[in-house]
A and B are shown apart, each in its own frame.
Chain A
Amino acid sequence: MINLVYNEMLKIVRKKRLFIIAAIVAVLVSLFTYAQFKQVETIRERIGTTDWRTQLQQQIIDTQNRLNSTGISEEWKKFLKIRLQQQQYYLDNDINPMAPGAPTFMRMFIENSIELFLPLLVMVIAADLVSSEASGGTIKLLLTRPVKRWKILMSKYIAMILSTSFIVFSVAVLSYAISGIVFGYGGWNLPLLTGFSIQGEELNTTGVHLIPQWKYLLIEFGLAFFVSLVVGTLTFMLSVLLRSTAAVMGIMLAALISGAILSSMVSSWESAKYLFMVNLRLTSYVSGMAPPIDGMTLSFSMTVLAIWALVALIISFYVFTKRDVY
């Protein structure tokens, strides 16, 4: 089994996909670092101070003003209200949620990439694991070996898990290393608040507690890994079902992008919360953002995602072991 997995990893590494993905991440991180740097500069120019309390207070007031203007949608209003209460809570407890530093940048980057960017990268690896063997005809060579079919598929699945964690790892390392050049490498022990729960338009702060940033990051990257794994498993299933890698990518792309769009407009369609793509933003629960649909919680989203992945896994194994290959 170990040899089979090693064999699969060999194929993935030979294709150089992992390095291309790392290069993509490096370019994007550099871009965002520059954008963030510019933003910090503009704010400093506008308010004339680097004091975070003044900046946060100004943000709160700006949000209050936006809430007062007419013509903003109810969902957006609710989102703003919850963020407002959270910012006020940070301010009242004298904690700076945005202290500059590479770890803060990492946090921001993973929170923004968990929904679309990271799944896309995972998809690139997982999409052709099986389908490329089918379209290239090499599947026959593989299946003529005296190894059980489920073992072959299992080795491919484990290889997918390993490369997924490699991708998450490269996001972590690159975002730390590159942004640190500009923002400095410190800030691992910065205290952050978590445990907010949202009830309607109110922010419940009874479960709020303080954790150091390194733990916060560990949690967020753990969740990012979980999300990547689920998306990877779904892609894996499609890769088993379809012969064409392009079709697999097309379907996954459509699903992921529709998720990003749906999240912003499904609040009135309640049963949409059982779709996997609106549940991908797991980090929002940790930081205390309003979920796209009322009643969604971290445990709910994780359960939904786990069920989707499990069903996908069962289907892939069933189909792969029963299918005629000719």
Chain B
Amino acid sequence: MPKRIISIVVAICVATTMLWIFGLIVTIQDQFFYEASSSTKQIEATNSNSKQKDALSIVALGDSLTRGTGDETGKGYVGHVMDELKKRTDKQIQFTNLAIKGQRSAQLIEQLKQKEVQRQIIEADIILMTIGGNDLFRGGEALRDLSTTQIEKEKKKFIEQLNTIFLLIREMNEDAPVFYIALYNPFNDLDNGKETSAIVRNWNYAASEVAAQYKSIICVPTYDLFELQVNDYLYTDKFHPNKEGYKRMGERVAALITLTEGEK
């Protein structure tokens, strides 16, 4: 091996050793002796409008139903809506799923106050949401105690919060249609099915009244989809829909979306 190659390698080695030692000095200076004065405020906000032109922007909000819990294919009803829309339009679809499992209406209000979430909603063309399932069922435990006063109290609180949610959405985005997917009764084949169904119907009615006060907020019923043979459409936890259940929900929502788009 010629001597020159070795000399070059040794030279590189020495030079890089210097460089890394310099790196270590920078590390010590930056990580240990940092003065908290020059803050992060110098960041220039690059708040450019990032939305691609003529892309269809869809934002999904809410709880586990919008997440798709229980659907082994992982699609959920939003997945079916997406599939359907992709068939119908050539536009590019930009989809953001902001739903969080177990979320209740109060938490959704908190979420709507986040800057980035707001930006998403402002740019949205269509908003899908489910909320209220956890407020009412609390993971399936609450309906053991069917005392009407307790449920009335919960309902009143929920309706107020739902109103706030709609108000916040409409403040950010005046036009985008909001599809609020109402509740179904996963317990309707149990012994007290009649009582629980009455509660769910009542709850849905109140929610649809709230929705009706706003322009193009559509309350989509799902109650009827799960009325017969409820267990065929429920996941093994007997609470979330399964693949079939989500497919039915998705089909219903997708059907409504084309209608409102046609009006534009």
A→B interface (CB under 8 Å): 6, 9-10, 13-14, 18, 47-49, 51, 53-54, 56-58, 61, 64-65, 68-69, 91-95, 161-163, 165-166, 168-169, 191, 193-195, 206-211, 215, 218-219, 221-223, 225-226, 285-286, 298-299
- Across the interface, which residues of A come within 8 angstroms of B43, CB to CB? 93-95, 191, 210
Closest approach, in angstroms, between the C-beta of B89 and any C-beta of chain A? Answer: 12
Query: Please, what's the 1-or-0 string for B2-18, where 1 marks a CB less than 8 Å from any CB in chain A?
Result: 00011001101110110
Is there contact, CB below 8 Å, between B94 and A94? no
The CA of A168 and the CA of B17, in the complex, are separated in Å by: 9
Is there contact, CB below 8 Å, between B22 and A218? yes
- Which among A161, A193, A218 has the highest number of chain B CB atoms within 10 Å? A218
Q: Given A165-B16, A168-B20, A225-B23: A57 and B9 within 8 A (CB)? A: no
- Extra pairs beyond A51-B50, A223-B27 (18, CB < 8 Å): A10-B6, A18-B9, A49-B55, A54-B94, A54-B96, A54-B120, A58-B98, A61-B99, A94-B46, A165-B13, A165-B19, A206-B36, A209-B38, A210-B42, A219-B26, A219-B30, A222-B26, A226-B24
- Across the interface, which residues of B come within 8 angstroms of A94, CB to CB? 43, 45-47
What residue in chain A is nearest B101 (Cβ atoms)? A68
Is there contact, CB below 8 Å, between B6 and A166? no
What residue in chain A is nearest B7 (Cβ atoms)? A6
Is there contact, CB below 8 Å, between B117 and A48? no
What residue in chain B is nearest A92 (Cβ atoms)? B115
Is there contact, CB below 8 Å, between A61 and B94? no
Contact of B34 (CB < 8 Å), options: A49, A165, A207 = A207
Is there contact, CB below 8 Å, between A165 and B20? yes
The CA of A54 and the CA of B124, in the complex, are separated in Å by: 12
- Across the interface, which residues of A come within 8 angstroms of B102, CB to CB? 68
Q: Given A9-B13, A163-B13, A165-B13: A218 and B120 within 8 A (CB)? A: no
What residue in chain B is nearest A298 (Cβ atoms)? B31
- Chain B contact residue count (CB 8 A cutoff): 53
- Across the interface, which residues of B come within 8 angstroms of A58, CB to CB? 96-98
Contact of B16 (CB < 8 Å), options: A14, A169, A207 = A169
Closest approach, in angstroms, between the C-beta of B215 and any C-beta of chain A? Answer: 26
Is there contact, CB below 8 Å, between B50 and A162? no
Is there contact, CB below 8 Å, between B115 and A162? no
The CA of A176 and the CA of B6, in the complex, are separated in Å by: 24
B119 contacts the other chain (CB 8 A)? yes
Is there contact, CB below 8 Å, between B13 and A53? no
Closest approach, in angstroms, between the C-beta of A10 and any C-beta of chain B? Answer: 6
Q: Given A61-B100, A166-B9, A191-B43: A49 and B94 within 8 A (CB)? A: yes
- Across the interface, which residues of B come within 8 angstroms of A226, CB to CB? 20, 24
The CA of A18 and the CA of B39, in the complex, are separated in Å by: 43
The CA of A32 and the CA of B236, in the complex, are separated in Å by: 40
What residue in chain B is nearest A223 (Cβ atoms)? B27
20 A–B contacts, CB within 8 A, in A order? A6-B10, A10-B6, A13-B9, A47-B94, A49-B52, A53-B50, A53-B119, A54-B50, A58-B96, A58-B98, A61-B100, A64-B100, A65-B100, A166-B12, A194-B31, A208-B40, A209-B36, A215-B30, A219-B30, A223-B27
The CA of A228 and the CA of B40, in the complex, are separated in Å by: 32
Is there contact, CB below 8 Å, between B30 and A194? yes
What residue in chain A is nearest B95 (Cβ atoms)? A48
B92 contacts the other chain (CB 8 A)? yes
Is there contact, CB below 8 Å, between A299 and B9? no
B116 contacts the other chain (CB 8 A)? yes
Closest approach, in angstroms, between the C-beta of A197 and any C-beta of chain B? Answer: 10
Is there contact, CB below 8 Å, between B96 and A47? yes
The CA of A142 and the CA of B25, in the complex, are separated in Å by: 36
- Interface positions, chain B 13-71, Cβ under 8 Å from A, are 13-14, 16-17, 19-27, 30-32, 34, 36, 38-40, 42-43, 45-47, 50-52, 55, 67
Q: Given A13-B1, A13-B9, A93-B40: A47 and B30 within 8 A (CB)? A: no
B93 contacts the other chain (CB 8 A)? yes
- Which among B6, B40, B46 has the highest number of chain A CB atoms within 10 Å? B40
